[in-house]
Structure 1
Amino acid sequence: MTAQNQNARQHMVFAIVVGEHSGDTLGAGLITSLQKNHPNAKFIGIGGPKMQALGFESLFAMDELSVMGLVEVLGRIRRLLHVRKTLTDYFTSNKPAVFIGIDAPDFNIGLELKLKAQGIKTVHYVSPSVWAWREKRIFKIAKATDMVLALLPFEKAFYDKHNVPCTFVGHPLADDIPMQSDKALARTKLGLAQDKKILALMPGSRGGELSRLLGDFFASAKQLQAQDSDLVFVAPMISEQRVEQFNALKAELAPDLAVKVILNQTQTVMAASDCLLTASGTVTLEAALIKRPMVICYKFSPVTFYLARWLVKLEWFSLPNLLANKSLVPELLQKQVCPDNIVPLIKERLYHDQSQLNNSYQSIHLQLKCDASEQAAKAVLAVLSKNPS
């Protein structure tokens, strides 16, 4: 290798765009693995605090892309288009070795399409749910990307069927979370009682999720507390902004309910808990890997739900059930999210043996534990080696 090539290798630029906290975690793991081969590489785009702690340069705040639902996206469309055009212009003028879009498919796939047309190699990390709805998106993905990195095994099978390049890398959460999570140790860390039943209230990481779910969560918690005065409630929050929103809604809807709010320790809170009342999303996979029973709730805005119900083809919407290919944990959708449904499901899981459920969780954990960040980094570098600049 010549000195010039060595210098180019060491100062390689990786462009990455993530849209939410789970993507920030994936991005941080990928950066750490890429830095082993390229210690002086530059990482730039849109990233969160975990990525920035590794030297990532974020051109916009990650929260710019944290929008959920069809109607909600329409309300922010002008700003989102501005951000995407700015990134397109920047990366066209300052070409990276590769662009990696992490999740945020409605934003990133369009960006990848534009950048690939400019001769920039593109990778999409975390498959969009094309196997669930809007299946024809796979043809746009094929045009937009040189490689899709899939976290889940059934996703690769879908891409293989359509002859779209895809690598199953496993899930970083399965690598990071131990096979057995120590409940007593987690409670000691958080200062929680060892001899009480603990229910975690987990209404999501987005403002819209909290506003839609917390009314029913608080009403359910009040009923449960009336039946078991020793029951303890904890609520992990992802940011100070969500803490403020949670506290404001609690003051309005359940001022007398005792809830310990804990910032930036979601996995520890889950490990400390006996059961989780949670929004849908990646957090449900975390819960399965931590081996805790849960009740999963999902509420769209009414218009988004009306549109989505004609498009979604899945029997289940949560990752534990999709991975198990059966109804492993209860799911409540839209109007089903109410105390009359939530309370008996929580009681069943709080006060009855869950060992059979844990066996299923163990199988999921083993299936996904593949050293994902290392596999993802290898796949990205393989894309570069196949198509040298």
Structure 2
Amino acid sequence: MSGNASTPRFVIVAGEASGDILGANLIASLKEKCPNALFEGIGGPLMEAQGFQSMVPMDRLSVMGLVEVLGRLFELLKIRKRVYEHCIENPPVVFIGIDSPDFTLPLERKLKNKNIPTVHYVSPSVWAWRQKRIFKIKKSVDLMLSLFPFEMPIYQQHNIPVECVGHTLADDIPLKCDRELARKQLGMNVDNGPLFAVLPGSRRGEVERLAPLFISAMEQIVEQEPNAQFIIPAINEERKEQISELLLSSHVSAVIVDGQSREVMIASDAILLASGTAALEAMLVKRPMVVAYRFTQLTYSIMSRMIKVPYVSLPNLLANKLLVPELIQDDATPERLAQTLLSTWKDFEADQNIRDIYLDLHLMLRKQAGDTAANAIIKLIDKKSHEGRG
């Protein structure tokens, strides 16, 4: 790799737990290619474990929904200004924004105007809603790294350099997962009834909206399956306390574990989860699932007018058909969640077709994402370096 220093500096911004996974994987691959490189910006614990220096805790960026962002706008703008000024004072060989497009794309645009190469990793959902964003993206990025094949055409149509790198989860997760081993690792003794994994999200606001709903669904499930057991992974101590408090007012109990969401999903017979990357992970571990989500009413009324695709969950978008049940907003009632989860669990074992589709999608996304992304980024840096010398 050519560059502007013997110690190339990469500035990376990730604002979500899913971005932290991608960022850590990318840094590991870049370190192999550039052993002297420095990595800084905003990231989470997995990126920090790779030697990344985070300017602020990543969870300061973790906010979802149009309305929810407004309450944190001043702080978010202040953080973005700080990252921008840092990049101008100490220009990196490249700036990489991982997901969080409303935060990272305006930053990328300003940096690109200052001749700092910019990469956006994880395509915003321009194929689904707010499609005019494609014109802003074109002004903001030198390279788009997409995770999924269905995202490519819109970038190609607008002559935006794009590479599909697959998903690091598809690389990391075995094609066949061992349920019994996962149960042993978690100390779960499951004798009679089914074990259901319940994932109400990772953010405080999400858990506030979804956990009471999911707990009510658990109560309904126990009425029909008295031996059912429940296991809930909590991303941190704060979420663990929040979920524990909500369970106090319920007559169902659940084992709450620290992190280990993948092991929890592998150990389960079926999964009830909030829409997001967790649905992709559930598909990759080949477990039946029900995807549910509730936004604030105002956010939902705005978004529902803008969305141009028939599905919200990644398994359905990848398959381009209703592969897994989706219960969104008013459809997400405790009764429907319980009934749908029970029927999905019972139908899954007999349905070889859905398991074959899961496997095909898993293989399609296995592209060694970290290496593929790192190679594309190095190629961009070299190209920009040669243009600069030219």
TM-score, normalised with respect to structure 1: 0.96
5+ residue gaps, structure 1: none
2-side partners of 1:354 and 1:122: how far apart? 45
**Distance apart, 1:144 and its partner CA:** 0.5
2-side partners of 1:215 and 1:69: how far apart? 19
2:269 to 262, 268, 274: 274
2:9 to 13, 34, 47: 13
1:284 aligns with 2:270: no
**Distance apart, 1:7 and its partner CA:** 9.4
**Distance apart, 1:215 and its partner CA:** 1.6
Which has the higher mean CA deviation after the structures are superposed, 313-322 or 344-353?
A: 344-353
1:336 aligns with 2:331: yes
Amino acid at match of 2:235: I
Q: Equivalent residues in 2 for 1:136-285 (5 A)? A: 136-195=132-191, 196-252=193-249, 254=250, 256-285=251-280
Judging changes above 3 Å, is the alpha-carbon distance between structure 1 residues 354 and 199 closer, same or farther for their aligned structure 2 residues? farther
What do the CA deviations read for 1:20-63 (whole angstroms, capped 9, x no partner)?
11000000000000000111110000010000011100001101
Runs of 4+ in 1 over 3 A off after TM superposition: none
1:46 aligns with 2:70: no
Query: In the alignment, is the contact (CA less than 8 A) between 1:293 and 1:357 conserved in 2?
Result: no
Which has the higher mean CA deviation after the structures are superposed, 209-218 or 189-198?
A: 189-198
**Distance apart, 1:354 and its partner CA:** 3.8
Query: In the alignment, is the contact (CA less than 8 A) between 1:19 and 1:65 conserved in 2?
Result: yes
Q: Equivalent residues in 2 for 1:322-361 (5 A)? A: 322-352=317-347, 353-361=350-358
**Distance apart, 1:299 and its partner CA:** 0.8
Q: Equivalent residues in 2 for 1:356-375 (5 A)? A: 356-375=353-372
Amino acid at match of 2:248: A
Amino acid at match of 2:322: S
Which has the higher mean CA deviation after the structures are superposed, 367-376 or 227-236?
A: 227-236
**Distance apart, 1:162 and its partner CA:** 1.7
5+ residue gaps, structure 2: none
1-side partners of 2:112 and 2:160: how far apart? 15
Tell me the residue number matched to 2:58. Answer: 62
2-side partners of 1:161 and 1:244: how far apart? 48
Amino acid at match of 1:297: A
**Distance apart, 1:194 and its partner CA:** 4.3
Query: In the alignment, is the contact (CA less than 8 A) between 1:184 and 1:194 conserved in 2?
Result: no
Matched residue of 1:124: which SS? Answer: strand
1-side partners of 2:138 and 2:220: how far apart? 50
1:79 aligns with 2:92: no
1-side partners of 2:180 and 2:337: how far apart? 26
What's the % identity of the aligned pairs? 48
Matched residue of 2:262: which SS? Answer: helix
